[in-house]
Amino acid sequence: MTIESLLIFLLIGAIAGWLAGVIVKGFGFGLVGNIVVGIVGAFLAGLLLPAIGFGLGGGILASILHATLGAVILLVLIRVVKRA
């Protein structure tokens, strides 16, 4: 993995985490937290979405949407667990 690909990976994670925090109100974790939520969300979406037959295509925009969807799912799960 080159430095450029690592930076793009972190940038997509940060954008996805921030977007997920905006969509799921009340969940903002700062820059590092948003990156982590975005990366974990992308991993979660990478496991769940193909299993149900949902694909977004390729490219950076599709990667951001994919990671954001996974991060939203992650934040909703965190909210459910915190309420229980």
Helices (H), 24-59: 30-51
Residue pLDDT, tens place only, 30-78: 777 777 888 888 888 878 888 888 777 778 888 888 888 888 888 888 8
Task: Look up residue 4 and give its two tokens.
Answer: 């450029």
Length of the chain in terms of residues written: 84
Task: Please give the model's pTM, rounded to 2 decimal places.
Answer: 0.80
